Amino acid sequence: MNKSLTASVSPALVSYKGSSKIFTLTSSEHNIEVGSWKIDSTQLGILDTYFIVEQKVLHGGKQEGSKIIVITSPNGLTITLSPTRGMSIINVTGKEMRFGWDSPVKEIVNPAFINLESRNGAGWLEGFNEMVVRCGFEWAGHPGVENGEMRTLHGKAGNTPASEVEIEINEEAPYEIKVRGLIKESTFKKADLRTVAELIYIPDTHHFTIHDQLTNHADYPRDYQIMYHSNFSKPLLEKDTQFIAPIKEISPFNDYAKSGLKNYSTYLGPTKDFDEMVFNIVPYTTADGSTVAALHNKDGSKGAAIEFNINELPFLTLWKNTDTEKQGYVTGIEPGTNYAYAAPIEREQNRIRQINAGETVHFKVKYSALMNKQAVDTVKKIIADIQGKQETTFIETPIAKE
């Protein structure tokens, strides 16, 4: 038996909040690192459903020392996230369902081995394989130089190990599970943005929610950007998969995407030399700002829905990377505070937000696995209702040139 297989499971620090038990797995403040850890519902005296939550320490290559947390709900979803990689969601699976994709990057890369500045600011691509990666918060988008400093591709959050990690399990039905990590982007003279990045999941269900709280701990207002880069591939993505959303305005990201604008809603199968087409979208919403974007396979028998609110995340980027499977056959649906242009463009076009000193801003994104035709149809109807008779404006010319 090798070391990783025999490693004893360490007990976590336990505390209580109402009817919830909180297990602290990592704390830089209290100098805690639990390492391998596992609990299942029976150990909590829960008998009317079954789930497991565990942390594993990974080994080999560039994932040496990375950690993953896996929530397993046999009748619902299995959700894998990585505290070492900024609480990114690596993968989500269910019965004949999967959120996520197959990147040529197979390992859960420890940020110690990543140089974000490499490849002219695109070093992020050496670790990119997540289902949801937070592009932010000090900056996001394509690499670009501002004030002499390289704003590396999609920022640092996804390559920042969480400083505090805890699992909160409600011991009363429906046994809500929260996995929380604190992501610090703290640099003397520059920024002190700290994000409590939370995943919320109820066992046996087919949906989960991200709830992030970004606080500016500095005494000055600071820029921030965030895009929830949410990625899907097979079995949801195939030839003639449909992207649906209530769309007020859509434009091609660049000249290459112009030719795909008309058919933005339909996907190709794996297509050699396709590379990627990106579209900028302003969604329509309900009166309170809520909206939904979704994806369903060709026959409408399964899909994914992403709910968000434009008061928090006003823009939506659609990333269609329907290249070959080994190259990464994947689409990203990315609600954000901005589009993916480099920082100087986003600034010029006023999409870089500021957070005041001491202020906290919230972001909620709900992901639903649409397990059957009925679920898909329900979401289609919601989207159609939001769109109503409102028209979609097609802007033919890219709004910016990188």
Residues in region 108-167 near its own copies by CB under 8 A:
110-113, 115-120, 122, 125-126, 128-129, 148-150, 152, 160-165
Site for its own copies in 256-315 (CB under 8 A): 272
Q: How many residues can be counted in the chain?
A: 402
d(CA 288, CA 298): 31
Residue 362 phi/psi, 5-degree rounding, is -110, 145
For its own copies, the closer of residues 154 and 296 by Cβ is 154
What DSSP string describes 134-165?
EEEES--SS-EEETTEEE-TTBSGGGS--SEE
Which of 166, 168, 192, 346 is the binder for its own copies (CB under 8 A)? 192
For its own copies, the closer of residues 111 and 335 by Cβ is 111
Strands (E), 29-176: 32-33, 37-40, 52-57, 67-72, 78-82, 88-94, 97-99, 132-137, 144-146, 149-151, 164-170
Contact 175, 48 (CB under 8 A): no
The candidate with the shortest Cα–Cα distance to 212, out of 192, 222, 226, is 226
Which of 20, 22, 27, 256 is the binder for its own copies (CB under 8 A)? 27
For its own copies, the closer of residues 278 and 375 by Cβ is 278
**Tokens in use for 279?**
């579209």
Site for its own copies in 362-401 (CB under 8 A): none
For its own copies, the closer of residues 162 and 375 by Cβ is 162
Residue 310 DSSP one-character state: T
CB of 3 to its own copies, least distance (A): 5
Site for its own copies in 224-253 (CB under 8 A): none
Which of 20, 28, 49, 301 is the binder for its own copies (CB under 8 A)? 28
From 214-222, 251-259, 300-308, 372-380, span contacting its own copies (CB under 8 A): 214-222
Binding string, residues 61-80; x marks residues near its own copies by CB under 8 A:
xxxxx---------------
For its own copies, the closer of residues 59 and 262 by Cβ is 59
For its own copies, the closer of residues 317 and 387 by Cβ is 317
- Counting contacts by CB under 8 A, is residue 31 touching its own copies? yes
